[in-house]
Structure 1
């Protein structure tokens, strides 16, 4: 079965951790992840400059490792990302900021990428949000 996963909460939210565990379980059961779409505060998981307290689990880093290890198509909503200060090098230059902080393996794009993935998936699972 082909899945799209939407992550809507920050990396400190239990929903984001559940989304990661769900994605890991899907691959373990030989399902396909068409795309993981990070939206709203979920875009913060794609920031490469987050620092987590030593006594806390670094879910953002775990997402980054998972995406890299399994070559997951990870898309970050560009509008939500810009509002929260998550930029790639192109956007950092465009908005005259010091540099990009989008982690390796992620791409900035619009909601059209979510729509495209939904057309190719059997299921859409969303974690977090208001």
Structure 2
């Protein structure tokens, strides 16, 4: 089956590890030979791909885990541009456009609009939302 996942919660949200559960679910899909069409990070979910976030020593680095998973499995990872800009998660182009010092979006994801989510829903057999 072809899946797309929508991640709405941040790595340290009050929702009890929803983003971590999304990562575990995505890893299980790949292990079971399913395909992931797209990961779509929306709302506070954009914080999962903030390259500048610091994970305290001894805690699980969810941003690094998402980045590794995306890279190792060559998965299309899209971050809602409006949600990201609102939360200060910017790529090179957006950081320049908004006169910010540096980009902080993990390099294996792209900023885009909700059209990418609509396309993912139209293309995928299942869309699973976390958070």
Q: TM-score, normalised on structure 2?
A: 0.95
Provide, for residues 59-108 of structure 1, a one-character-per-residue CA deviation record: whole Å limited to 9, x for no partner.
11100110011111000000000010000010011011111111011000
Aligned partner of residue 76 in structure 1, secondary structure: strand
Aligned partner of residue 99 in structure 2, secondary structure: coil
Matched, 1:24 2:27: yes
Measure how far apart 1:46 and its partner are: 1.0
Among 62, 65, 73, the residue aligned to 2:65: 62
Structure 2: runs of 5+ lacking an equivalent: none
Which residue of structure 2 lines up, in the alignment, with residue 124 of structure 1?
127
Which residue of structure 1 lines up, in the alignment, with residue 9 of structure 2?
9
Q: Distance in 2 between matches of 1:91 and 1:121?
A: 29
Measure how far apart 1:23 and its partner are: 0.2
Measure how far apart 1:114 and its partner are: 0.4
Which residue of structure 2 lines up, in the alignment, with residue 40 of structure 1?
43
What is the CA RMSD across the aligned residues, in angstroms? Answer: 0.7
Q: TM-score, normalised on structure 1?
A: 0.96
Matched, 1:92 2:95: yes
Q: Distance in 2 between matches of 1:29 and 1:12?
A: 28
Count of matched residue positions in the alignment of Structure 1 and Structure 2: 128
Q: Is the 8 A contact 1:12 1:59 kept in 2?
A: no
Q: Is the 8 A contact 1:68 1:105 kept in 2?
A: yes
Structure 1: runs of 5+ lacking an equivalent: none
Aligned partner of residue 34 in structure 1, secondary structure: strand
